[in-house]
Amino acid sequence: MSELLLDTAEELRKLPRGGLRAVVMTMGALHEGHATLIRSARELAGPEGQVVVTVFVNPLQFGANEDLDRYPRTLDADLAIAEGAGADAVFAPAAGEVYPGGDPQVRISAGPMGGRLEGATRPGHFDGMLTVVAKLLHLTRPDVAFFGQKDAQQLALIRRMVTDLNFPVEVVGVPTVREEDGLALSSRNRYLSPTERRTALALSRALFAGQDRLAAQAALRARAEASPASDERATALARLGEIRASADAHAVSAAGAGLPDAVRAAARHVLEEAGRYEPPLVLDYLALVDPQDFTDVGPEFTGQAVLAVAAKVGATRLIDNIPLEFGAHT
């Protein structure tokens, strides 16, 4: 077994520390996305610092009908990936080490944000997630903790917990890592058959369709601001037989209206089409939300938003998201 491996909280407490300590929390089954997190932690910690990776499949964040028993456990491979990416130690405790008294009676509540989107589909999931993250922060005592942006709602809730409960740690989000075909890296991707994987690609295609719609509408808005095109001008062009120019003028004139709704519509079109595939994509939710509280954004929203999707393909449930920036209306 690797010299990196620590099994107990006592071993972790005895781990010498020097410089900045960074932690990367995982549930194992490590892949390139996790390796990217570890490399990011290594870069920040520097040669004098320390990177600790945790590997723990947390039973508190799995529901009664979820995949706790079949969740992949690949500790030997995880140790090799962690070491190759620059980890100094891997803390992989048993459940009894993290929860010595059994299921904890005192848990952290995720609050209102924890009941939205993923929380609505998986009641109690975020309470369990925050409880174990809090415990692991206490056990590892890091200066900085790295989490992937693929789990955007999880990242937002961890940041909220750290702020609200005064944890002395900096939280860093690392962009989603994708495979060449666009599918976001996930430990659950290994469950997908070749045909299921083809269907699953609709998740990232939908997100990028929404992103493309935003870019196209933003370009039209820029044209409208540079040389305003009114409905009157478009109507006049139509009377002169300039139908294509008229349509373009109408599009430029309307470019600033309802951008969030246009983004949602573009993404939903891709997902609805995937619902007719074999096997079909079964949509759980598509949402365009404010990353501060994960509430839906309105048609006049400006600032950063998250376009998020969750769906099932066969027996496998997948999530994905991308950040989008909505410019100010003028």
Q: Is 250 a catalytic residue?
A: no
SS3 239: helix
**CA pair distance 180, 177, nearest whole angstrom:** 10
Structure tokens at 33: 């996305």
Kindly state the DSSP code that residue 186 receives in the 8-state scheme.
-
Question: Count of CB atoms within 10 A of residue 70's CB?
Answer: 10
Beta bridge partners of 53: 24, 90
CA distances from 126 to 49, 122, 290 (A): 31, 8, 18
Question: Which residue out of 34, 125, 250, 329 is catalytically annotated?
Answer: 34
Spatial CA neighbour of 149 closest among 314, 36, 4, 263: 36
Quickly list H helices, the chain.
9-14, 32-45, 75-85, 95-98, 118-121, 125-140, 152-164, 194-226, 231-239, 243-253, 259-274
Residue whose entry in the numeric block shows the structure tokens 């099994």: 7
What residues have CB less than 8 Å from 289, skipping those under 6 apart?
116, 117, 295, 296, 297, 305, 306, 308
Residue whose entry in the numeric block shows the structure tokens 């056990």: 139
Answer for the pair 148, 192: CB distance below 8 angstroms, yes or no: no
In angstroms, the first-to-last Cα distance of the chain is 62
> Left, alpha or beta for 61 (phi > 0: left; psi -120 to 50: alpha)?
alpha
How far does Cα 65 stand from its chain's mean position?
A: 22
Active site residues: 34
